Amino acid sequence: MKVEGVVLIGIGLFMAVVSVGYWFWSGEPSGTAMLIGAVLLGLLPGGYYYWWAKRMKPRPEDRPDSTIREGAGVIGSFPHGSIWPLVFGAGAFLFGLALAFGWWFLPPALGLMLVAATGVTTQSRRGGTI
């Protein structure tokens, strides 16, 4: 966990140096704002990972000498398949059509996305296949 944190914090710190330099050299606000965004993107998750790394035992994938057996246990739930991404994607597609061709695409778009969001949530809760 530590290396992950350090990588992100490192990027964040570098961007901090760049944004400070950029602001004082150019005084241009839009670029500085975006650079600060990049700083936060490095520091926030990086800090989170680092904070946890300090408070937990290294995971098997953090230790160079761990054996494959040490990874035993539940590592996550991986569905074999799910219809809902397709439904949500169809909704988003209609949403895109609404942006380009007319607002009448919007109700079905939002409807499909809502159905898909509900579906995917209940699916996770039930834990069944599809």
Figure out which of the listed residues 63, 104, 111, 122 binds another protein, where binding follows CB under 8 A: 63
Are 98 and 106 spatial neighbours (Cβ–Cβ below 8 Å)? yes
Figure out which of the listed residues 51, 54, 56, 96 binds another protein, where binding follows CB under 8 A: 96
The CA distance from 66 to 126, in Å, is 34
Figure out which of the listed residues 86, 107, 114, 122 binds another protein, where binding follows CB under 8 A: 86
Q: Report residue 80 as tokens.
A: 């074999």
Residue 93 one-letter amino acid: F
- Minimum Å gap between C-beta 90 and another protein is 7
How many positions of this chain bind another protein (CB under 8 A)? 72
- Alpha-carbon radius of gyration of the chain: 22
Binding status of residue 104 toward another protein by CB under 8 A: no
